[in-house]
Structure 1
Amino acid sequence: MLVRCLALISLWTCPLLAEPWLLVLFKGGSALGIYTPEGQMVSSVPVGKHPHEMVISPNGKYAYITDNGTMAIEQAGEGGNTISIIDLVGRIRLGAISLGKYRRPHGIALDYRTGRLAVTTENPDRLLIVDPVRRRVVRTYDTGGHTSHMVTLDPKGEWAYVSNSRSNNVAAIHLATGKLQLIPTGARPEGSVLSRDGRYLYVVNRDGHKITIIDTSSKRVAGEIPTSRGPVRIDITPDGSELVYAAMEDQKVDFLDLASRRIVASVALDGRPVSLHLSPDGRCALTAAQDIDAVYVISVRERKLLRKIRTPDKSAPDPVCWVDLD
């Protein structure tokens, strides 16, 4: 089974693995939608209220979903305090991991070495390490900022990078010691991705309309790249030459060449994209628009839209993953 949270490999110009299923997390519908590659929904599994992000277990059998409890960081409220566990084969919710006093979980990443989860919470602002087998929080870290949003782990599982959206910085946290370093970014940092060699972290700033480049060795800002308006999520091509990001305010997906630090292509959309992942081979990108209940499959090579998939009314799709369940 495939074990990574990845974009859909389409039937049109992207090579297709055997019988994949498309997983679409409905933030508004509080459910996980399971789709065929052609875009037909075959199942909907209820989860906690207003889920935000998800990852897939190393064996590909389970999805772990943050039940945030609110639709957006701007909304008041204590929020939820669980991570839903979904059996992807049985298409049922097995249960939930209680986070106790830590509420409004949002970002989630998987340490593939240990199988543990790194989870951000916004109330209070923390990074949690969660054991999904024992279903418990095993360690907590202060993020030193406000509205701890997304999290990226380095390949060795030594450092976690948390975007503190309301304090305009990234918290670099050494997981073994708890050492914390705050790195300034642009306004409202959100998604991030590491360069293929791990030397740089690229952070999109939704209100700053730029990418902050962080040197992961020195934990200092190494540069900035202007973007289209409202960049929210970002990925990198397999060869490391291009960044692909969702520009929510400008309603498009941009392709940015790292050598020239310029946008080389864009794909216009009819909705505001809120998520972005690339397929394993880098040929396809997938994003979703909450405002019009739609998922988009984009050809990276051809820089064009391949398919638009409608989701249920007011489902507000956000992250999208695919797995081979056969």
Structure 2
Amino acid sequence: MRAGRPCRRISGGVRPERPAVDVALARRAAAETDGDSTEPADRAGDPQLLLVTQADRDSVAVVNPRDRDGSAVVDEITVGAAPWDVAVHPESGRAFVSTALGVAVVDVATGERTRLLDYRHRPREVAYGEYRPGGLGLAVSADGSTVHVAVSTGDEAFLETIDVGTGRVERSTPVGRRPFDVLISHDGREVYTIDHDGFTVTVVDTTTFDARAIEVAPFGTEGGLASFEKPHYAVLDPGGDLLLPYQGRALARVDPVSGEVTTSALGADTHQHGVARADDGTLVLAGNGPFGNAGGGASIEVVSPDGGSTVLPTERRHETAAIWQDADKTYGVLTGGYTQDGAWDGMTVVALDAALGGTDDSYEIRVPGRPQAVVPVTLPHREGTP
């Protein structure tokens, strides 16, 4: 794997001092990078960028993945302490960020936080790091009117359903402990929490708010909270099943209707966290090394739609993954904010067609502040900026 510039490591638990960002200079650099690219973005519209939570700060970064030389950060938007997850609703032009104390609502066009939606189970104080109380995974409804956010108190967790218009928590549904991820079914009738410390996926009906837990533990639950064989993140396939990677050894497929769990083999043999799915069915999986029953090193695994697997060894560890589209090329992007030791100030970009063809042309970009969750975003040009 080809590395970019060395990246400074940020430790968890304490927020570092935040350096000033020259937004105009960063935007100018992004524009120059786009212009010089041998594979320019589609000029018929604004290029696709990334929104990335900076878990050791109070901000999300707007990131240009094309910048391989300097900082890839185009802008930083203050959202609130210890942001975890981010979701974008393109039609309304808003992004939603789960922070320690509430869900930040961000106007994507202006780059400003417009509101903070309080949790019902709001922590009394701010903390940083993987075990901090507050918001974890979140998802926004298709019409943008409702945000579903997992809120951890430490001992318990709840799926809080917030009406964006009123800002009120309409329902608070108990779910499994420490839900790293939240997804919404394609028809919007169910919400799924990925309960890291519960070895479960909780299915919540969005009409009745009845909840049922499905155990997803391909390697059992031995070890309890100390186990590494727990769920982290998931994606939905077109048929509505959830796909969750475990230890680079098994891809669990969960049918949320029947509760049936089946598995297929993976090839990385490494402790896996993030997963992303491209439109053609290609999966990108973040692997972090020999933990639990996994014996392999850190890697990025790319799984083709027919199930074939390519494993790209890397010295870096990653937390989450997303799909980024640049012109006619599809990339996997993986964040360096691994929740345990080994986090770094950057992200890795992987061309999926090259990886499946046996070529590793991945590269690193620089993003400070322990970049954790990432989503693609089309950022319109702002008045007064280059």
TM-score (norm 2): 0.70
Question: What amino acid is the match of 2:186?
Answer: P
SS at the partner of 1:302? Answer: helix
Bigger CA radius of gyration? 2
Q: Which has the higher helix share?
A: 2
Matched, 1:119 2:152: no
Q: Which residue of 1 aligns with 2:8?
A: none
Q: Which residue of 2 aligns with 1:22?
A: 50
CA distance, structure 1, for counterparts of residue 212 and residue 38 of structure 2: 45
**Given the superposition, is the C-alpha separation of residues 33 and 237 from structure 1 closer, same or farther in structure 2, using an over 3 Å criterion?**
closer
- Comparing 158-167 with 38-47, greater Cα deviation is found at 38-47
Q: Distance in 1 between matches of 2:267 and 2:200?
A: 18
Checking the alignment, whether the CA contact within 8 Å between 2:173 and 2:209 is kept in structure 1 is yes
Gap change, CA 1:148 and 1:324, over 3 Å in 2: closer
Matched, 1:202 2:233: no
Q: Find the partner of 2:213 among 182, 196, 200.
A: 182
Q: In structure 1, what is the equivalent of residue 97 of structure 2?
A: 65
| Distance change >3 Å, CA 219–CA 282, structure 1 → 2 | farther
**1:152 matched residue in structure 2:** 183
The residue that corresponds to 1:31 in the other structure is: 59
SS at match of 2:197: coil
Q: 1:235 aligns with which of 276, 282, 293?
A: 276
Q: Does 2:365 correspond to 1:318? A: no
Deviation at 1:218, TM superposition (A): 0.9
Q: Is residue 275–residue 287 contact of structure 1 (8 Å, CA) maintained in 2?
A: yes
Letter in 2 for 1:310: R
CA deviation after TM superposition for structure 1 residue 251, in Å? 2.6
Report the equivalent of 1:105: 135
Structure 1: distance between partners of 2:136 and 2:97: 9
Q: Deviations over 1:12-39 (max 9, x none)?
A: 5585453334322211122112234533
Alignment of 1:230-309 (within 5 A): 230-240=271-281, 242-249=282-289, 250-257=297-304, 259=306, 261-262=307-308, 264-279=309-324, 283-290=330-337, 291-303=343-355, 304-309=360-365
1:96 paired to 2:127: no
**How much identity, in percent, do the aligned residues show?**
18
Does the alignment pair 1:225 with 2:296? no
- Tell me which residue corresponds to 1:70: none
> Which deviates more from structure 2 when the two are superposed, residues 225-234 or residues 126-135?
225-234
Aligned residue in 2 for 1:163: 194
Deviation, 1:101, is: 2.1
2:105 maps to 1:85: yes
Letter paired with 1:316:
R
**Is the Cα–Cα contact under 8 Å of residues 329 and 351 in structure 2 kept in the other structure?**
no
User: Which whole-Å CA distance do the structure 2 matches of 1:51 and 1:299 have between them?
Assistant: 28
Q: Does 1:128 align with 2:160?
A: yes
* 1:299, distance to aligned residue in structure 2 (A): 0.4
CA contact (8 A) 2:98 2:136 kept: yes
Given residue 109 of structure 2, which amino acid in structure 1 is its aligned partner? V
Please give the alpha-carbon distance, in whole angstroms, between the structure 1 residues aligned to 2:267 and 2:202.
22
Q: State the AA in 2 paired with 1:323.
A: V
Cα distance, 1:170–1:282 mapped onto 2, change above 3 Å: farther
Superimposed CA distance per residue, residues 271-306 of structure 1 (whole angstroms, 9 cap, x where no aligned partner): 211110113677211111122201122101001344
SS of 1:85's partner is strand
Q: Is the 8 A contact 2:121 2:151 kept in 1?
A: no
Tell me the TM-score normalised to structure 1 length: 0.82
- 1:91-147 CA-to-partner distances (Å, cap 9, x unmatched) read 22223111132451100112114531111111131111112222221122121x222
Which residue of 223, 226, 234 maps to 1:192? Answer: 234
User: 2:329 & 2:234 partners in 1: Cα distance?
Assistant: 17
Preserved CA contact (<8 Å) 1:196 1:239: no
Measured at CA, do residues 146 and 98 of structure 1 come closer, stay the same or move farther in structure 2, by a change above 3 Å? same
- Matched residues in 2 for 1:168 and 1:265: separation? 27
Structure 2 gap segments, 5+ residues each = 1-33, 124-133, 218-228, 290-296, 338-342, 381-386
CA separation of 1:318 and 1:282: change in aligned 2, threshold 3 A: farther
1:213 alignment partner in structure 2: 253
**Whole-Å Cα distance in 2 between the matches of residues 232 and 12 of structure 1?**
32
**Number of residue pairs the alignment of both structures matches:** 297
Structure 1 residue 316 displacement after superposition: 0.5
